[in-house]
Amino acid sequence: MKNESIQNSNRVTLDQVHISGGYTGYFSFFLEAMRNKQVCRLIKDGTSILDLGCGRAEILRLLYASGKKNIKYTGCDITSECIDYNIIRHPEQKFALIDIEKDDLSILGSNYDYIILLAVFEHLSNPCETFKKIADILSTDGTIVLTVPIPQAESIYRIGARLGFFSKRAQSEHSSIRIDKDMLNGLPSCTNLRLNRYQRFLFGFNQLAVYRSPIFSDN
């Protein structure tokens, strides 16, 4: 799969990326950094990564900074400005403009070692069906990692967005589906994966869920 570029991509500014990608709240960058830090430590060097909802691909920069420079990264986002910006910033990696709920994910290839979705699932209208699609392109011994706020945090995000602390656009796009530990545990019921690890972070307001096949869960 080749980089999917948009006309005049060299004109994309960081401000455009921040506005279109929902990075407009005072704490948006802090939240992103904390999510990336949690997930970066789980990823091994020399592996393939599919980042669904990659935004500015900041986790790629963090992986490089931590010495993991032999990774094969594919970043996907629904926002063209983010993809344009990433293509310019990281020409050595792959990026694609895609809607993970509507589009056929097989066009991205398969057998990924890691598929990550950071602050993405709370925006999906059908997270269970999307999870099945994602599992289909994961390698047999691969890992799915996702982060999502706890349901109780929604009121905090809503008030914070009104005050400018969090992105109003990102908060307004949250679905009404309750995503708690029980829901995350049952998410892979129609796949051969299981919830291998669950933890809270960001003062308990965010959830980290790691999925693997039970055959490889101890590796």
Write the CATH number of the domain with boundaries 26-212: 3.40.50.150
At 171 the pLDDT is 47
Rounded Cα–Cα distance for residues 165 and 29 (Å): 10
Q: Which of 16, 68, 11, 17 is nearest to 39 (CA)?
A: 68
Q: What is the pLDDT of residues 92-146, one digit of tens each?
A: 999 999 999 999 999 999 999 999 999 999 989 999 999 999 999 999 999 999 9
- Per the structure block, which two tokens stand in for 183? 């829901």
Output the pTM of the full model: 0.85
Written in H, E and C, the secondary structure of 73-126 is EEEEECCHHHHHHHHHHCCCCEEEECCCCCCCHHHHCCCEEEEEEECCHHHCCC
Rounded Cα–Cα distance for residues 41 and 21 (Å): 24
Task: Provide the β-strand partners of residue 74.
Answer: 50, 94
Q: Which of 135, 30, 159, 17 is nearest to 77 (CA)?
A: 17
What are the residues whose beta carbons fall under 8 Å from the beta carbon of 107, sequence distance 6 or more?
Answer: 1, 96, 98
Altogether, the residues listed in the chain come to a count of 219
What are the residues whose beta carbons fall under 8 Å from the beta carbon of 76, sequence distance 6 or more?
Answer: 50, 51, 52, 53, 54, 95, 96, 97, 98, 100, 108
At 154 the pLDDT is 74
| pLDDT (tens place) for every residue of the chain, 219 residues total | 545 443 344 445 555 555 454 455 566 788 889 999 999 999 999 999 999 999 999 999 999 999 999 999 999 999 998 999 999 999 999 999 999 999 999 999 999 999 999 999 998 999 999 999 999 999 999 999 999 999 987 766 665 666 665 555 554 445 668 899 999 999 999 899 999 999 999 999 999 999 999 988 665
Rounded Cα–Cα distance for residues 187 and 123 (Å): 16
